[in-house]
Structure 1
Amino acid sequence: MDFKLGKGGEVKIILVFKGTESIEEVDELYQYLKNKGLFKGNAGEVYANVTNTDKALLLGLGEEDKLTLDSLRKAFFNAGKELAKLKIESVDIEVPELKNICYLDGIQAIAEGLLQSEYSFEKYLSKKKVILSIKEVNLNVIDGKREQSIEAIEEVKNIIDGVFLARDLVNEPAMTMTPKTLANNAKKELEKLGVKVEIYGREKIEDLGMKAFLAVSQGSSQEPQLIVMDYKGNPESIEKLALVGKGLTFDSGGYCLKPANGMETMFSDMAGAASVIGAMKAIAKSKVKKNVVAIVAACENLISGAAYKPGDIIESMSGKTIEVLNTDAEGRLTLADALWYAVKNLNASKVVDIATLTGACIIALGNVNTGAVTNNEEFMKNIKKASHITGEPIWELPNNDEYRELIKGTFADLKNTGGRGAGAITAGLFLEEFVDNTPWIHLDIAGTSYLSKKQGYLPKGATGIPVKTLYYLAKEF
Structure 2
Amino acid sequence: MSITIGKEGAVQAIFTYQGEIQDEMNLQLVEYVKDHQLFTGKKGEIFTDLGPNGANQAFVGLGEKETSDAQAFRLAAFQLAKKMEQLKVSEVAIHLPTLVNLCTCRSVGYITEGLIQATYTFEAYKSEQKPLFETNYFFVTDHKPEKVQKRIEEVTKLMEGVFLTRDLVNTPPVDMDPETLADAAKQTLEPLGVQVEVLTRPEIEELGMEAFLSVARGSKKEPRFIVMKYLPNPDQKAIALVGKGITYDSGGYALKPAKGMEHMKNDMAGSASVIGAMYAVASNQLDKNVVGVIAACENLISGDAYKNGDIIGSMKGTSIEVINTDAEGRITLADSLYYAATEIDSEVIIDLATLTGACVVGLSDYITGLVTNNDALCTSLRVAGDVSGEYLWPLPVVDELREQVKGKLGDLVNSTGKPGGAMTAGIFLEEFVEGKPWVHMDIAGPAFASGAYSYLPDGASGIPVKTLYHFIKQA
State the TM-score, normalizing by the size of structure 1.
Answer: 0.97
| 2:71 is the alignment partner of 1:73 | no
Distance in 2 between the 1:26 and 1:272 partners? Answer: 50
What do residues 373-405 of structure 1 show as CA deviations (whole Å, max 9, x unaligned)? 000011011101111110011000011121111
Q: Secondary structure at the match of 2:179?
A: helix
Distance in 2 between the 1:114 and 1:44 partners? Answer: 13
Q: 1:162 corresponds to which residue?
A: 161
Distance in 2 between the 1:283 and 1:49 partners? Answer: 41
1:95–1:142 Cα contact (<8 Å) kept: no
Distance in 1 between the 2:21 and 2:418 partners? Answer: 56
Q: 2:253 corresponds to which residue?
A: 255
| 2:6 is the alignment partner of 1:6 | yes
Q: CA deviation at 1:41?
A: 1.0
Alignment of 1:59-458 (within 5 A): 59-129=60-130, 131-134=132-135, 136-143=136-143, 145-237=144-236, 239-458=237-456
What do residues 420-467 of structure 1 show as CA deviations (whole Å, max 9, x unaligned)? 110100001100000010000000000000001111111010000000
Q: CA deviation at 1:110?
A: 0.8
Distance in 1 between the 2:21 and 2:382 partners? Answer: 38
Distance in 2 between the 1:281 and 1:199 partners? Answer: 17
Ranges in structure 2 where 5+ consecutive residues have no aligned partner: none
What amino acid is the match of 1:292?
Answer: V
Distance in 1 between the 2:333 and 2:321 partners? Answer: 16
Distance in 1 between the 2:185 and 2:133 partners? Answer: 27
2:238–2:291 Cα contact (<8 Å) kept: yes
Q: Secondary structure at the match of 1:411?
A: coil
Q: CA deviation at 1:125?
A: 1.4
Q: CA deviation at 1:21?
A: 5.9
Distance in 2 between the 1:113 and 1:187 partners? Answer: 29
Distance in 2 between the 1:432 and 1:306 partners? Answer: 29
Identity across aligned pairs (percent)? 49
Q: Secondary structure at the match of 1:350?
A: strand
2:21–2:40 Cα contact (<8 Å) kept: no
Which range moved further: 54-63 or 322-331? Answer: 54-63
Distance in 2 between the 1:20 and 1:94 partners? Answer: 14
Distance in 1 between the 2:429 and 2:355 partners? Answer: 11
Moved over 4 A (4+): none
What do residues 137-172 of structure 1 show as CA deviations (whole Å, max 9, x unaligned)? 1111234x2111111111101100000000000000
Q: Secondary structure at the match of 2:229?
A: strand
Q: Secondary structure at the match of 2:12?
A: strand
Q: CA deviation at 1:96?
A: 4.2
Distance in 1 between the 2:28 and 2:447 partners? Answer: 45
What amino acid is the match of 2:108?
Answer: I
Distance in 2 between the 1:366 and 1:62 partners? Answer: 25
State the TM-score, normalizing by the size of structure 2.
Answer: 0.98
Q: 2:18 corresponds to which residue?
A: 18
Q: CA deviation at 1:129?
A: 4.0
Ranges in structure 1 where 5+ consecutive residues have no aligned partner: none
What amino acid is the match of 1:226?
Answer: F
The total of aligned residue pairs comes to 474
What do residues 194-250 of structure 1 show as CA deviations (whole Å, max 9, x unaligned)? 00000011111111100000000000000000000000121222x110000000000
What do residues 109-147 of structure 1 show as CA deviations (whole Å, max 9, x unaligned)? 01111011100101111223462321x21111234x211
What amino acid is the match of 2:263?
Answer: T
Q: Secondary structure at the match of 1:78?
A: helix
1:118–1:132 Cα contact (<8 Å) kept: no
Alignment of 1:13-52 (within 5 A): 13-20=13-20, 22-51=22-51, 52=53
Question: For the structure 1 residues 22 and 241, does the alpha-carbon distance in structure 2 shift closer, same or farther, using more than 3 Å as the test?
Answer: closer
Cα RMSD after superposing both structures? 1.2
Question: For the structure 1 residues 96 and 18, does the alpha-carbon distance in structure 2 shift closer, same or farther, using more than 3 Å as the test?
Answer: closer
1:96–1:141 Cα contact (<8 Å) kept: no
What amino acid is the match of 1:121?
Answer: F
Q: Secondary structure at the match of 1:406?
A: helix
